[in-house]
Amino acid sequence: MQTALKYQKKSYCPYSKYKVGASVLTESGNIYGGFNIENASYSLTIDAEQCAIACAVSNGEKNLKAIAIAANGAKPCGACLQVMSEFMDKNSPILLIDTSKKGKIAISAHKLKQLLPLTFSAKDID
């Protein structure tokens, strides 16, 4: 959670001003962080969760155990949940760190299957 909060501060969000940080814990025990990187062409924006996951995967870590997301009213979007489902088990914890209250944070824990009950996976392609 500390890594997600640290990366939230690094967010590049000149358009929305919506700072998001994320961190993933891998099966090997490594932690990788990421933050949202906006683009004037919004469709090219990179979400914090996808940034952290891409960092882990680019380092050979494809088995993610958990993810923490820090933002005002932290909630992952559907696209991020789908990316999570590619590398996380349906019972993997997703920790949401709500930083909307100045000086206080609220943490809630969920499982991937609760937030994305109907995943599309490699099994659906075969």
| 49 included as an active-site residue | yes
Give the per-residue SS3 of 6-59: HHHCCCECCCCCCCCEEEEEECCCCEEEEECECCCCHHHCECHHHHHHHHHHHC
Over 90: is that where the pLDDT of 101 sits?
no
Distances in Å between the Cα of 27 and the Cα atoms of 33, 66, 88 are 15, 9, 10
Find the catalytic residue in 27, 49, 61, 86. Answer: 49
Return the CATH class of domain 2-125. Answer: alpha beta
How does residue 110 score in pLDDT terms, banded at 50, 70 and 90? very high
Cα Rg of the chain, angstroms: 14
- 33-80: pLDDT as tens digits: 999 999 999 899 999 999 999 999 999 999 999 999 999 999 999 999
Please give the angle made by the CA atoms of 8, 78 and 21, to the nearest 5 degrees.
Answer: 5
pLDDT, residue 123, reads 83
Q: Look up the pTM and report it.
A: 0.94
In terms of phi and psi (left: phi > 0; alpha: psi -120 to 50; beta: otherwise), the region of 96 is beta
> Looking at residue 49, what is its pLDDT?
98
126 pLDDT above the threshold of 80? no
